[in-house]
Amino acid sequence: MDDVRFAFVKCHGSGNDFPLIDARAIDLAEADWAAVARALADRRGPVGGDGLLLLGQGTDDHDFSMAMYNADGSQAETCLNGLRCVARMGFEALGLDMARVRLKTSDAIVERDADLAAGVYTVRETAGPAGLDVRVWPLHAGVERIVETPVPPLVSERRFIAVAMPNPHLVTFVEAVDEAELVAIGEACEAAPRWLPNRANVSFVEVRGRDLFVRTFERGVGLTDSCGSAMAASSFAACLTGRLAYDTPITVFNKGGLVRASVTRDAMVSLSGNATWEWRGSIDVDIAAERAGDLVVEAHADAEIAAWAGIADLASR
């Protein structure tokens, strides 16, 4: 296949950054999109990111769809930080302020929300219900649920809550995040052992009063400043275990920023957070070689970048 030129937006949700392509009129196979993701998300290349987002066509029941490819080319069931960015592009393309979005294995409701701060484009997303049956991951541990117990095949005494959002998450509550320990556990899961063939995201979570701080080793990415579905899974886990209350606002902090969360008793999780444009451009991708080049940056969103910086400064205090 010859080089393909893509127009895209470089965007982020709570510091989780991506190139985002309107793919509604682009006919590529999943294997080709995986190659594009590896080329564009490569931090050593001209763009870089935690993965690749695609705005796709809708269906009879959905206004549009989203696909998310991790930096290693694997496709995720969802990405809630990325979903907000895709929602924004879909809203702008179709003139909507609310939509039902088809994800890989589920769907979600998105709507324009009041800005977190002046100039911070904000989307509210509702996903779920969160799932507790680990047999569907599959996680082969001889049990149906893992709630506040060690994961039998994992060499760790940490007590985890295993949650599907719908992508798989192992959440543990800690007094203080030990990144070296988090990376060690994350890498053990990333190796796709026989007991966890589809891998999992791993989060260490601090409870800070009525708020949370979440640090995540993301499947297909590694240690990341932010993971939206991990923040959703962590919020659900905190309510499930009685650390925080259902139907009560929660601020979830991460190294990339913050989101507002709420969890219902029927396991639905809502996140309200930013969908920030950083810059627009176009680039050639040699799909066979998985190489990107000839980047043209067409416009920077300086005002949006500055507006988000105020939120990020608040989150770091």
Active site amino acids = 79, 227
Q: Which amino acid is at 72?
A: D
Q: How far apart are the first and last CA of the chain?
A: 49
Q: Which residues of 82-119 are buried (b: 16+ CB within 10 A; e: fewer)?
A: bbbbbbbbbbeeeeeeebebbbbebbbebbbbeebeeb
Cα distance between residue 261 and residue 19, in whole Å: 25
Pairing of strands 201-208, 168-173: parallel
**Of the candidates 283, 304, 277, 272, the residue with the CA atom closest to the CA atom of residue 92:** 277
**Of the candidates 272, 300, 290, 266, the residue with the CA atom closest to the CA atom of residue 9:** 300
Helix residue ranges per DSSP H, 161-216: 179-190
